[in-house]
Amino acid sequence: MSSVPIAQRPKPTASHKLIATLGLISLCSGLLVVSVFEFTKPYIAENQRRALEAAVLQVIPGAVERREFILTPQGVWPRQDAPAEGRLIHAGFDAQGQFKGVALQAAGRGYADVIRILYGYNPACECIVGMMVLESRETPGLGDKIETDQNFTANFRNLSAALNAERTGLAHEIITVRPGSRQAPGEIDGITGATVSANAIGRMLNESAQVWLPMLAPHWSALSLPVGAEEAMDGD
């Protein structure tokens, strides 16, 4: 009578082999993620640059040409002629080459995450003349109304942002108020159901304008220099 062979159990895999395998998989996954990030990084940066350039002309009414300047402690210079590093300024000009204003960036915490915006400022009227959201993760249908609500975006067609007599800050604080209650200079009508997001726009505009506009005030005339000018001119 023949005996039936007994199946042998497979030997358990050593724990160090499992750890080594998992470590190898993790390493490969990490390298893949980093490789993809590094590969796409320049493309993302280029897309962001193009989007910013297009947005400059949208937040400065009448502008069809964009020029870049550098603000340094010595003055304002065309970017290609700047003697030192400084703050980048986007200026807009009409078809006749007339200066129409500057586009400035601002950022602040919204309801869901940080909101980044670009706004246009025209020193001729001392007012904000346009605003565009560059980056936002606000709640669809609520917080994202800062981009789609026409009554809200209308606030930024002629929003007072005049400097005080000393030119050290704004004469009137920029602030978001209840919807329909806008009366004083610098007030922004808010959005029902998107209070946090709307308040964030007012807050970041105020903080940005309080810093940028006093710095730019002495140099408005320098921003109208033709491209290639070699020397910066002090402003008004």
Question: Hey, what are 25's tokens?
Answer: 């998989």
According to the model, what pLDDT value does residue 47 have? 60
According to the model, what pLDDT value does residue 204 have? 96
Question: Considering the chain, what percentage of its residues have pLDDT values greater than 90?
Answer: 56
Question: Hey, what are 202's tokens?
Answer: 């007012």
Q: For residue 235, what pLDDT band results from cuts at 50, 70 and 90?
A: very low
Which residue in 62, 148, 68 sits closest to 97, CA to CA?
62
- Dist CA 129 CA 9 (whole Å): 78
| Domain coordinates in residue numbering, the chain | 47-224
Evaluated on CA atoms 131, 116, 148, 191, the torsion sign reads negative
According to the model, what pLDDT value does residue 40 have? 65
Model confidence at 167: pLDDT above 80: yes
- The residues with which 185 forms a beta bridge, in sequence order, are none
Q: For residue 228, what pLDDT band results from cuts at 50, 70 and 90?
A: very low
Gyration radius of the chain's alpha carbons? 27
- Decide: 129 and 120 in contact? Cβ < 8 Å: yes
Model confidence at 99: pLDDT above 90: yes
Give the type of residue at 134. Answer: L
pLDDT of 112-146, one tens digit each? 899 999 999 999 999 999 999 999 888 888 888 99
pLDDT of 3-62, one tens digit each? 556 556 666 556 667 777 777 787 777 777 777 656 665 655 566 556 677 789 999 999
Q: What is the mean pLDDT of residues 188-203?
A: 95
- pTM for this predicted structure: 0.77
- The residues with which 17 forms a beta bridge, in sequence order, are none
Model confidence at 80: pLDDT above 90: no
- Dist CA 156 CA 30 (whole Å): 45
